[in-house]
Amino acid sequence: MTVNNETGAIQPVEEIAELARERGICFHTDAVQAAGHLKIDASKVDMLSLSGHKFGGPKGVGLLYIREGIRVAPLLHGGGQEQRLRSGTENVPSVVGMSHALQLANRGLSDTQERWKELRAAFTERLLGGLEGIAINGGETGIPSTINVSFQGVEASAILVFLDLKGIRCSGGSACTSSRNEPSHVLSAMGVGEDMIRGSIRLSMSIDTTMEEMMTVADVMIETVTKLRAQRAGKGM
């Protein structure tokens, strides 16, 4: 992955691609979480994939970049469309919509990143000021629009129920692992304790996210975690 989909951590893709190229290895990166959030230089890798819905485009359409000279087996056989790589009728409206959405997402990206940094800083400051026993996973080295926070002594599933009732949509991990009732392998690999992992929430910001919204989310989280911890303490008495 160019950007980890749970913590937002930016991986050293260019360095890995160079190591792979020196050894004659074809290198592909999943840049789904990076598009529209981070400047991407596709020329540094052999293959790169994106998903339209991650940067405001239509759902169900994606992009695969293939460096000139790289040969791949056809996905579908038949009419020979798309240079014999994927036969069948192209979904032109979605392709055009994705292309336009990517242009819009990259327009003024530097300014958007700075605004995300401000929102993230204010959000984490509010949380840290209102609660103890929490940790921000991934630090400041990742993309600012993805935040993974752990709350000690509470279950993420319980937090998500309360947030959902308030109209706040976030997750206990990546969408890819949302159906698994297992501790995050990503946070485990980072050395995060299981108690903290089970209380981990992931939030993602869009270009439309406002400071008011982030402060509301922080306040609701503080209220929710405080209540859940009090309930747990009461049951333990």
- pLDDT at position 172 is 85
Give the pLDDT confidence score for residue 182 in this predicted structure.
72
- The CATH number of the domain covering residues in 13-106: 3.40.640.10
Q: What pLDDT was estimated at residue 175?
A: 46
Strands (E), 67-190: 134-137, 146-151
Q: Please tell me the distance from the alpha carbon of residue 171 to that of residue 159, in angstroms, as a whole number.
A: 10
Q: Which CATH number fits domain 109-236: 3.90.1150.10, 3.40.50.300, 3.30.360.10, 3.60.70.12?
A: 3.90.1150.10
Closest among 176, 190, 184 to 156, alpha carbons compared: 184
The model's pTM is 0.84
Q: Considering Cα of 165, then 168, then 173, then 179, what sign does the dihedral take?
A: positive
Question: Residues 6 or more apart from 13 whose CB is under 8 A from it?
Answer: 2, 29, 44, 45
What pLDDT is recorded for position 180? 56
The ranges of the chain with pLDDT < 50 are 174-179, 237
Residue 183 pLDDT: 77
pLDDT in tens, 146-188: 999 999 999 999 999 999 999 999 988 644 444 455 778 899 8
Q: What is the enclosing helix (H) or strand (E) of 204? A: strand 200-204
Active site residue 26: no
Task: Judge contact between 50 and 62, C-beta under 8 A.
Answer: yes
Query: What are the structural domain ranges in the chain?
Result: 13-106, 109-236
The catalytic residue among 96, 176, 230, 233 is: 176
Tens-digit pLDDT profile for residues 136-156: 997 677 999 999 999 999 999
